[in-house]
Amino acid sequence: MKEQAKILVVDDEPGIRDLLSYELCSHDYQVVTAVNGEEALEKVRKEKFDLVISDIKMPRMGGIEMLDAIKKINPDIEVIMSTGYGTIETAVSAMKMGAYDFVQKPFNLDEIFAIIEKALEKSELRVLLGVYEASKHIFSSIKLDELLPVMAGLAAQILKADDAVIMLPDREGRLAVAAAAGLNDYKRKEPRLLLCERGMDKGAQAWKPVIIDGPMDKDPRFLNIGGLLDIRSAIVFPLVIEGRLLGVLNVNRTVREAPFTASDLRYASVFCAQLAQAIHNATLYLELDNKMRELRQMQSQLVESEKLAAIGKLAAGVAHEINNPLAGIMGFTELLLQSNELSVGQREDLQSIMEQSQRCRRIVQNLLQFSRRKTGKTETINLGRLLEASLQLMNYDLLQSNIEVQKYFPDDLPAALGDPAQLEQVYLNLIANARQAMEGKKDAVIKISASSEAGQVVLRFEDNGCGIPPENLGKVFDPFFTTKPVGQGTGLGLSISYGIIQQHKGTLRVESQVGKGTVFIITLPITRDPSSMEAAL
């Protein structure tokens, strides 16, 4: 059944009021009357009207003055002006003030009803236009953090509410406020959650929207919820697609006295259908984006693994070819240095040869280590203790460089399985890299932290050094890539670390901003053996 439109008839002549009341009621309109503009304004402030029909000439407050005041209270109420003494100037004045139309007395009832229908259609179209504007916002963005605040504001505007709240379920399925309009205080948002949780009508087949009218302290569902006392009327509208609850829209009237009606619920259903679709689309996009990111990461790791394997084979061959002649050079140099017949210059030259040969030997050792990637011994590792041991080894260098170390390893950090010597090498490489990135910097800090997330231990090594340029960020794990001066690095430390973490079925990645610093992030699987975990404590 179509909801009755509510019309306010304002006229100081009893006969006109009675005539219009009778005829309008016979056409299934709900009618309220007032004898002058002042009484009409009181009724408009307290009740919701779809239309006002008013005389122009009335005692105490005339129709034109009343029209101006009504439009200030509620610009959406359509007003039809009438008079038996009208002039063109009067009609123009009324239309400028926002009147929908102007009719002469005595009335032609057919004409009156035609104007009423058109005026009510205009009100309906205005709401539908608001819903259309909402749809444009919905399809203009797929980011919920941008979309939802706009939609909350539009919900309050379209449904003539004083506040609006959009709630989404969290990972545990509990509702949480995602966006709000007209509510700046968290203490007012929290009771809205309880209103929705207790007020939603979960039917046998589907979630159903409801209108809840105050006073809220008289409703047993909302006893002891003090933050709801200001609500005069509320709509709780579940956002559902394919039987799945995606969220809830709650709109409330706290200042406006008129309660929500079936018409408001109908407008809300159109609006919420679009809002639910927008949330659904945004959720699907986010899931797709996450899967694409995972796929790109897997592809990158695969390419990196294949590249490292190929370079590893090459490195092994080069190292073996260099190792034999290098051993000969170092052996003969050492023999010559034992002679007592060398001049000072000759001895200095031979020592230089020995130093450079030793450097070459270290490079060869790194090459062999990089190429072999041997699986070390596997045992349960307390990652916090291993860090302390690594920091002890680096303590002198860190003190000399005036670097502060801040570490946070929680006592209940789960254990990991692996080779302590290999993981210690990774620690040392990352700490050494951070130290070199902050060389000469004041207030240099290395932050090392650990946490447990989704079955993995996550380790972060963060510095506030010079950072890595974007063009180099994708090369840091490449063998032999280094930005250090010649003779100060082989470019194998991070490559070796990357390989070690891969062997431990973990990941190593880097994030950096030039001038702000760099963070290396390690993930390692948690051991599931309770006895091993106890042994690591």
Range of weakest confidence among 78-92, 121-135, 420-434 = 121-135
User: At 300, which amino acid appears?
Assistant: S
Q: Distance between CA 84 and CA 214 in Å, rounded?
A: 43
CB 240 within 8 A of CB 207: yes
Q: Is the pLDDT of residue 537 over 50?
A: no
Q: Distance between CA 162 and CA 231 in Å, rounded?
A: 9
Range of weakest confidence among 62-76, 94-108, 337-351, 366-380 = 366-380
Rounded (10°) CA dihedral 414, 418, 424, 426: -100
Range of weakest confidence among 27-41, 64-78, 487-501 = 487-501
Residue holding tokens 């709509």? 235
CA atoms within 13 A on the CB side of 507: 12
Residue holding tokens 């010079």? 466
Categorize the per-residue pLDDT at 163 as very low, low, confident or very high, splitting at 50, 70 and 90: very high
Q: What would the mean pLDDT of 20-49 be, rounded to a whole number?
A: 87
Give the pair of three-digit tokens for residue 120.
């009510």
CB 416 within 8 A of CB 383: yes
Report how far apart, in Å, the C-alpha atoms of 155 and of each of 141, 169, 237 are: 17, 19, 11
Write out pLDDT tens, residues 105-157.
Answer: 777 888 888 888 888 777 666 665 655 565 555 555 567 777 888 888 888 88
CATH 3.30.450.40 corresponds to the domain 136-287: yes
- What's 379-536's CATH class? alpha beta
Q: Is the pLDDT of residue 489 over 60?
A: no
Write out pLDDT tens, residues 280-314.
Answer: 888 887 777 777 777 777 766 666 666 656 666 66
Q: Is 464 helix (H, G, I), strand (E, B) or coil?
A: coil
Provide the strand spans (E) within 242-367: 244-253
- The DSSP letter of residue 455 is T
Q: What would the mean pLDDT of 246-260 be, rounded to a whole number?
A: 89
Angle at 520 between CA 486 and CA 415, to 5 degrees: 125
Q: Is the pLDDT of residue 334 over 80?
A: yes
Q: CATH homologous superfamily for 6-125?
A: Response regulator (3.40.50.2300)
Which H or E element spans position 23? helix 14-26
Q: Distance between CA 469 and CA 371 in Å, rounded?
A: 28
Q: Distance between CA 312 and CA 318 in Å, rounded?
A: 10
Provide the strand spans (E) within 189-297: 201-202, 207-208, 210-213, 233-241, 244-253
Report how far apart, in Å, the C-alpha atoms of 115 and of each of 93, 96, 131, 479 are: 19, 18, 25, 83
Nearest to 370, CA basis, from 458, 497, 462? 497
- Mean pLDDT taken over the chain: 80
Which H or E element spans position 132? helix 109-138
Could you tell me the strand order of the sheet in which 244-253 lies? 175-181, 163-169, 244-253, 233-241, 210-213
- Beta strand pairing status for 163-169 and 244-253? antiparallel
Give the pair of three-digit tokens for residue 250.
């709650």
